[in-house]
Amino acid sequence: MKRSKLAELVFVAGVLVAARANGDIPPPDTQPCQGKAAGASCELGGKKGACQKSTCSRLLNGPDGPSRREYACMRCVPVKVDAPPPPKSSLPDAPLSTGWPLGAVALFAGLGLAAWFGRRPSPPPQ
């Protein structure tokens, strides 16, 4: 009989200790920032981030039941990564000065052809 009481006592103590220890596990997003200063780079879930001061909480067992305690901590907060710049075109940019001379020649040629073919025939001599 003594053995079964001792086994029960050890089991209950183990459960209580395990439940109490569960409150001491820090949040997963604080792990990458342990021992780092605010603003330091970190990585969380394969994404880049920065360590930032925050408030964490833990659940503690007390005589009146579980209570939540808050404490200062460092969290790894994801940062936005700028999109890469668009690829540069392999074609050179044409300067503006190459198009206007050709346009002026075409304009004057069109006006000359319109004047040449647009003349009225002279009246026949009487």
Q: Looking at residue 10, what is its pLDDT?
A: 53
Based on the structure, what is the number of domains in the chain? 1
pTM above 0.95, yes or no: no
Q: What is the pLDDT of residue 51?
A: 92
Is residue 32 included in any domain, yes or no? Answer: yes
* Assigned domain for 49 exists: yes
Residues of the chain with pLDDT under 50: 1, 19-20
pLDDT digits (tens, 9 = 90+) for 110-120: 888 887 777 66
pLDDT number for residue 87: 73
Question: Does any domain span residue 98?
Answer: no
Inter-CA distances, 25 with 19, 20, 34, 75, 104, Å = 11, 10, 13, 14, 79
Segments forming the whole domain that contains residue 73: 27-80
Radius of gyration of the chain (CA): 42
Domain membership of residue 108 (yes or no) is no
Answer whether residue 12 is part of any domain. Answer: no
The continuous run of DSSP H or E covering 120 comes out as: none
In this structure, what DSSP letter does residue 34 have? T
For residue 87, what is the DSSP state?
P
Whether 37 is covered by a domain: the verdict is yes
In a domain, 35, yes or no: yes
Q: Which amino acid is at 110?
A: G
What does the DSSP 8-state code read for residue 94? P
* Cβ neighbours of residue 71 closer than 8 Å, sequence gap 6 or more: 55, 56, 57, 58
Q: What is the predicted pLDDT for the residue at 20?
A: 47
Q: Is residue 47 part of a domain?
A: yes
